[in-house]
Amino acid sequence: MAVEPVRRPGRPRSEDARHAVLTATLELAAESGPAGLTMGGIAERAGVSKETLYRWWHSKTEVVLEALAHYGDEAIPVPDTGSLAKDLRVFMRATSKALDHRTRQLLRTLAAQSAADPTFADQVREEFIARRRAALAEVLERAVKRGELAPARAAVTVDFVFGSLWYRLIFGVGSLDRAWADAVADSVPGSTAEP
Amino acid sequence: MAVEPVRRPGRPRSEDARHAVLTATLELAAESGPAGLTMGGIAERAGVSKETLYRWWHSKTEVVLEALAHYGDEAIPVPDTGSLAKDLRVFMRATSKALDHRTRQLLRTLAAQSAADPTFADQVREEFIARRRAALAEVLERAVKRGELAPARAAVTVDFVFGSLWYRLIFGVGSLDRAWADAVADSVPGSTAEP
Amino acid sequence: MAVEPVRRPGRPRSEDARHAVLTATLELAAESGPAGLTMGGIAERAGVSKETLYRWWHSKTEVVLEALAHYGDEAIPVPDTGSLAKDLRVFMRATSKALDHRTRQLLRTLAAQSAADPTFADQVREEFIARRRAALAEVLERAVKRGELAPARAAVTVDFVFGSLWYRLIFGVGSLDRAWADAVADSVPGSTAEP
Amino acid sequence: MAVEPVRRPGRPRSEDARHAVLTATLELAAESGPAGLTMGGIAERAGVSKETLYRWWHSKTEVVLEALAHYGDEAIPVPDTGSLAKDLRVFMRATSKALDHRTRQLLRTLAAQSAADPTFADQVREEFIARRRAALAEVLERAVKRGELAPARAAVTVDFVFGSLWYRLIFGVGSLDRAWADAVADSVPGSTAEP
DNA sequence: CGGTAAGCGAGACGGTACGTCTTGTCTTATT
DNA sequence: AATAAGACAAGACGTACCGTCTCGCTTACCG
């Protein structure tokens, strides 16, 4: 049974255009940051008309969201070493490693738009934030089942990890390097003992 | 010796104008949120010329920063009950209580601008974030001296508390009410025992 | 010998589409005037694709031109009463009568496009203006042959009649009613005497 | 008594900007005609922001109108030789002479916009057309007073002269040179006799 | 009766102009 | 010197229309 063999009439959406837009967004975000990322700029860089841009994405945030989703979907795998301490280490270090310049710029763009507009915040939360939370929650869930972690603590831990990340990213309060990753991993009770 | 008896020539700065600007900023932020808060709008609402606005504040962020500082400076006192658990409870509940609609809108404006522009982020960090961190650090420091808290844990705790706050504020990931305040307070080790 | 018995292969042009386009053009012109008459609008109203529109007409002007030709081709017959004064009266009154709201909107569209683009002006002149001029010229020619009109005056009279019409139509300088028609007819020398 | 010595507060309107806009409009109209004359283009050529353009002129037509008024106000003087025939000759030849390439482009722009939008047509009529009509009407009035021209004929003559001009200009029906000027002048009864 | 070829709808596309908005600077007269 | 009033350059925004394109489907004929 084919999943979607239907072909609607009319010229089909150009995959080239879509790809060019997402690529241009990543490039521009990396180069100029949130402030320099404009719809007109993306369109020009991508060799795409503004109308096409607005047809498929209703705002800058949506473009960034999709660009980021495409780029970083498998960057951080969900580890399963059998030990919470090790799992957290792996997860945090992978997270830290994924935060290169380009990604930080994209995330800052996401944060800026989300802070300014609750509607977009909802979208970002559901389509991006939730995925990351789920990945970490999976790791913690296993630890809870093994009795390594109190259930109540699992919940706040997710906030802790990502809260720290965004807080530092947005306000520049401290680094997001490997030292940070390890410090965060170690601070989760029950994972401190075995370094 | 008088502290500052100097009187520069010319018309002195209008205190009325300054006050009107800060009030207008608070009002507009509460009404329209980050997206609707413009320099032109503030000037108009305050009955002040844009010239005057830009003379004393170099950017929207500075205005918001000062408006916020004025409004919420003594809102959250630094508690000293002799017990980390109690101190944290008081601090977190006061923090939660201070986060009314207006304040959240202002904080979101700060976050949006900071995420978009690292220079503003620096400013926000130095003039606003740092003060809050210092207040919490003072509470934790005392606990460390009493042997209630490991020094290493004190550092990450500050990140935890404020990270959670901004994370939830920006992306709408969960509430910021009294339940949240208590959950955060309880999750700091050594303060869990006594509810 | 049949004039055009050839039948090219492939699907023949849809007469329905052609008719729908011309009708839609007339309707839209009457409703929204030159400014509101767009190719996309015509296509949509006619239930025809833009592709089809552009296949058969290369510009808005061509569509309007054909719509107008279809509608008003026999509206103004060439009178031949034997008297210049009477012929002119009939011609001018018929002209005036043909200038209902819809026709005026169409003519204004033609004028707008012609003024903006000399190439279209050429087309309009050859395919529309020339026909009207020829009709009037025929009437005047007969008068010249009868000795009622000086040959030199015949030439400028055509300019006079149609110039006045377009001038008033475009700039709203005076009416185009029966009074105007009579005034114009009467002002041609040799036709004034007999009212 | 000074006509307008009042000085409103605020930065006064820049005469430089105004002049640059009108000049740029004339240049662009001459170069590219009605179709190539855009608000953005005018702004760029004039070194003026689009906001300034729209602050003072609400549409392209208004800019063109003012540009034309400035340029051609005294181009065609009202002659008074004492003879209708001579006056008309002078007036028509001056009119013809004033119709250089640049002016024709401007007039065509005016016509295009007027045909498309009756509101602008009203404006053009009152602020531009009316002045020309008044000039010619003055000449004819004098002839009527001298008994050279029937009052009824004076009215249609104005239509005739300008109708012919615009008709030829818009649709390219014949020239607008000296031969045309003389032919039109001669065709007015009472002025034909004396060449 | 099946192949071939053009017409047709739907609708995406690059391009360009539109008119509005906000930012930060400036130039006045007034206080 | 500071103010209000407000004009200004710069440039992003989101919309509209243009004319072209690429699809799948339809309607004829012709062999």
pLDDT digits (tens, 9 = 90+) for A180-192: 999 999 988 654 4
User: Is C172 within 8 Å of D125 when comparing Cβ atoms?
Assistant: yes
Both D45 and D88 in one domain: the answer is no
Is residue D13 within a helix (H) or strand (E), and if so which, with residue range?
none
pLDDT for residue B78: 87
Enter the tokens of residue D53: 């353009």
DSSP B173: -
CB contact under 8 A, B173 and A155: no
Candidates A131, A133, A159, A192: best to mutate against B (most CBs of B within 10 A) is: A159
Same domain, A53 and A94: no
Q: Looking at beta carbons, which residues of chain B come within 8 Å of A136?
A: none
Say whether the CB atom of D49 is under 7 angstroms from strand F.
yes
Does B71 fall in a domain?
no
Q: Are residues C178 and C97 in the same domain?
A: yes
Q: Are residues D92 and D37 in the same domain?
A: no
pLDDT score, position B41: 96
CA distances from A59 to A63, A64, A123, D167 (A): 7, 9, 12, 49
pLDDT classification of B195: cutoffs 50, 70, 90: very low
Residue whose pair of structure tokens reads 């990213």 in the numeric block: A169
Residues from chain C that touch D183, judged by Cβ atoms under 8 A, are 152, 155-156
Say whether the CB atom of C14 is under 7 angstroms from strand E: yes
pLDDT in tens, chain C (195 residues): 444 445 677 888 889 999 999 999 999 999 999 999 999 999 999 999 999 999 999 999 999 999 988 776 666 788 999 999 999 999 999 999 999 999 999 999 999 999 999 999 999 999 899 999 999 999 999 999 999 999 988 989 999 999 999 999 999 999 999 999 999 999 886 554 433
Q: Is the pLDDT of residue B189 over 70?
A: no
DSSP string, A80-93: --S-HHHHHHHHHH
Spacing of D51 CA from E21 C1' in Å? 10
Interchain contact, B174 vs A159, CB within 8 Å:
yes
Residue C170 lies in a domain: yes
Contacts of C61 in chain D (CB under 8 A): none
pLDDT at D10: 85
- Residue B9 has what pLDDT? 67
- Can you tell me the mean pLDDT for B108-134? 92
Distance of C1' in F9 from CA in D13, Å? 14
CATH of the domain at D164: 1.10.357.10
Lookup: nucleotide whose C1' is closest to A56 CA: E12
B112 vs A33, A116, A184: nearest CB: A116
Distance in Å from F20's C1' to C54's CA comes to 10
D131 belongs to a structural domain: yes
Q: Examine the domain organization and report whether C81 and C165 are in the same domain.
A: yes
Determine whether the interchain pair C153/D183 forms a contact, defined as Cβ–Cβ distance below 8 Å.
no
CATH of the domain at C38: 1.10.10.60
D1 — pLDDT class (breaks 50, 70, 90): very low
Per-residue pLDDT for A108 more than 90? yes
Residue C172: inside a domain, yes or no? yes
D183 plus D109 within the same structural domain: yes
**CA neighbor of A132 nearest in space, from B167, B115, B185, B177:** B167
Distance from CA of C78 to the nearest CA of D (A): 21
Q: Are C155 and D183 within 8 A, CB to CB?
A: yes
Identify whether A7 is part of a domain. no
Q: Is the CB of A8 under 7 A from strand E?
A: yes
Burial grade of D180 (CB within 10 A; 0-12, 13-18, 19 or more):
buried
pLDDT at A17 over 90: yes
In a domain, B41, yes or no: yes
Distance in Å, alpha carbon of D49 to nearest chain C alpha carbon: 25
Q: Which chains lie within 8 Å of chain D at 3 or more CB pairs, if any?
A: C
> For position C144, what pLDDT does the model report?
95
Structure tokens belonging to residue A12: 């089909």
Q: Does A23 touch chain B (CB under 8 A)?
A: no
Q: Is the CB of C11 under 7 A from strand F?
A: yes
For E27, nearest residue by CA–C1' is D11
d(CA B130, CA B29): 23
CA distance B175 to A82: 32
In a domain, D69, yes or no: no
Residues 6+ apart with CB under 8 A from C47: C20
Residues A176 and A105 in one domain: yes
CA separation, residue B82 to residues B91, B139, B142, D151 (Å) = 13, 10, 8, 109
Task: Please give residues of chain C from 45 to 74 whose alpha-adjacent beta carbon (CB) lies under 7 Å from any atom of strand E.
Answer: 47-52, 55-56
Same domain, B82 and B53: no
Instruction: Write the pLDDT tens digit of every residue in B15-42.
Output: 899 999 999 999 999 999 999 999 999 9
Buried b (16+ CB within 10 A) or exposed e, A11-22: eeeeeebbebbb
Burial of B56 (0-12, 13-18, 19+ CB in 10 A): middle
CB-hemisphere CA count at 13 Å for D141?
8
Instruction: Establish if D171 touches chain C: CB-CB under 8 angstroms.
Output: yes
pLDDT of residue B6: 57
Number of domains making up chain A: 2
Domain with C120, as residue range(s), is 76-187
How high is the mean pLDDT of chain B? 88
Together in a domain, B26 and B99: no
Q: Are residues B82 and B161 in the same domain?
A: yes
Chain B contacts of A160, Cβ < 8 Å? Answer: 159-160, 163-164, 187
Question: Do C134 and C104 sit in the same domain of this protein?
Answer: yes
Predicted confidence (pLDDT) per residue in D158-171, tens digit: 999 999 999 999 99
Touching status, chains D and C (3+ beta-carbon pairs under 8 Å) = yes
CA–C1' gap, A8 and E4, in angstroms: 25
Question: Which of the four pLDDT bands, split at 50, 70 and 90, describes residue A73?
Answer: low
Both tokens assigned to D175: 């020239």
pLDDT averaged over every residue in chain A? 89
Whether residue C59 lies within 8 A of chain D, CB to CB, comes out as: no
Nucleotide with C1' nearest the D54 CA:
E19
User: Is the pLDDT reported for residue B99 higher than 90?
Assistant: yes
Chains with ≥3 CB–CB distances under 8 Å to C: D
Strand F positions closer than 7 A to protein CB: 1-30
Q: What's the confidence (pLDDT) of residue D74?
A: 60
**What sign does the dihedral D36-D42-D47-D49 (CA atoms) show?**
negative
Q: Does residue A42 have a pLDDT over 90?
A: yes
pLDDT on residue C152: 86
Q: Which residues contact C173 (CB under 8 A, 6 or more apart)?
A: C167, D125, D129, D133, D159
Mean pLDDT for the stretch of residues A168-190: 91
Task: Please indicate, yes or no, if residue B65 is contained in any of the structural domains.
Answer: no
Q: What's the Å distance between residue D45 CA and nucleotide F10 C1'?
A: 15
Cβ–Cβ below 8 Å for D115 and C117: no
Interface contact D159-C168, CB threshold 8 A: yes
Whether B129 sits inside 8 A of A35 (CB atoms) is no
A118 touches chain B (CB under 8 A): yes
Residue nearest to nucleotide F23 (CA to C1'): A11
In the prediction, which pLDDT does C189 show?
Answer: 65
Integer Cα distance of D47 and D35 in angstroms: 21
Q: Is the CB of B56 under 7 A from strand F?
A: yes
Alpha helices in chain D (DSSP H): 15-36, 39-46, 50-56, 60-72, 84-98, 101-116, 118-124, 130-145, 151-171, 178-187
Residues in C closer than 8 angstroms to D174, CB to CB, are 159
Q: Are residues C120 and C54 in the same domain?
A: no
DSSP for residue C3: S
Distance from CA of B137 to the nearest CA of A (A): 14
